Structure 1
């Protein structure tokens, strides 16, 4: 009897080892890179410029909302101070005014925040689109097979975020 017929698993193990060796050889050619989107948004000149643009665009409205909040606090403090000396009708009228003023403040603050968030998303989307074009250029130029943008863990040697930020800062 031959050795292979007594131990049929040997043929399967040998085939598996040959397959693993082929996969390992191919894996050495597989090049992976990682890009931190958060870091691009924090460190790139394009993201910083977008933030400055938003601050300038929304500064006036932010001051208006803050002024309304300040007026509401002042009116509320005045009411608290004056309440003991007011008649029931005056107290009720002032409470309604405060409720209306608070409702208006909350509405304006909500609208401001929604508009700001929408514009921020638009600006960051433009930065991300530019970054993605650069990531693709880097991947093609340096022959990457895969670029990952979010990961639980990545070995720092695969992080190409710095290259992307530098290219993004250099691109206009």
Structure 2
């Protein structure tokens, strides 16, 4: 993640320099392009498959947590209905068991959130690494002087948009 922040700051700096020297850049014949990074990445087959896996994992975790939540709810109802007929020791045991179930539920909920977050981070890192390689190769092969990230400017002529090319290259790179 630190590498992507570094790259973004370089892109922003280059963008600022370019704003100041657009006239000079055209006079010298510089070639530049821009990429809507979010669109380029999110429209790749790898990203979409990764998100499908992530949603499947999320659905599995939700199902597990719902089952445990229902078990807790049933135990609470049973305890409430039977508490008057139980001995104090038995009531304390049931309350402790219920407390353990709630603690287990919270742990599993936190574990599920961490697993989903870790999977999303793996996907982002994988796609981000691939994106960096593709954009560098594309820039060198196309003899670009600068390729900027789209939100860096208020307006850029659409003829400089290379997002679709980058998305195709990301899909082609396995």
Name the TM-score class by shorter chain. Answer: 0.5 to 0.7
Task: Give the TM-score normalised by the residue count of structure 2.
Answer: 0.66
Look up the match of 2:15: none
Task: Give the TM-score normalised by the residue count of structure 1.
Answer: 0.67
Q: Does 1:32 align with 2:51?
A: no
Residues 76, 146 of structure 1: CA spacing in aligned structure 2 closer, same or farther, 3 A cutoff?
farther
Look up the match of 2:172: 170
For the pair shown, the structure with the greater C-alpha radius of gyration is 1
Look up the match of 1:155: 155
Structure 2 alignment gaps of length 5 or more = 1-20
User: Root-mean-square deviation (CA), in Å?
Assistant: 3.0
Residue pair 2:57, 2:116 contacting (<8 A) in 1 also: no
Shift of 1:77: 3.8
Look up the match of 1:142: 142
Residues 99, 31 of structure 1: CA spacing in aligned structure 2 closer, same or farther, 3 A cutoff?
farther
Shift of 1:153: 4.2
Indicate the SS of the match to 2:143: coil
Shift of 1:32: 3.4
Look up the match of 2:98: 98
Indicate the SS of the match to 1:52: helix
Residue pair 1:34, 1:154 contacting (<8 A) in 2 also: no
Shift of 1:154: 4.7
1:70-81 aligned within 5 A: 70-81=70-81
Q: Tell which deviates more after alignment, 109-118 or 54-63.
A: 54-63
Shift of 1:48: 1.4
Shift of 1:155: 3.2
1:103-114 aligned within 5 A: 103-114=103-114
Indicate the SS of the match to 1:39: helix
Residues 40, 106 of structure 1: CA spacing in aligned structure 2 closer, same or farther, 3 A cutoff?
farther
Paired residue total: 150
Shift of 1:165: 0.9
Indicate the SS of the match to 2:131: helix
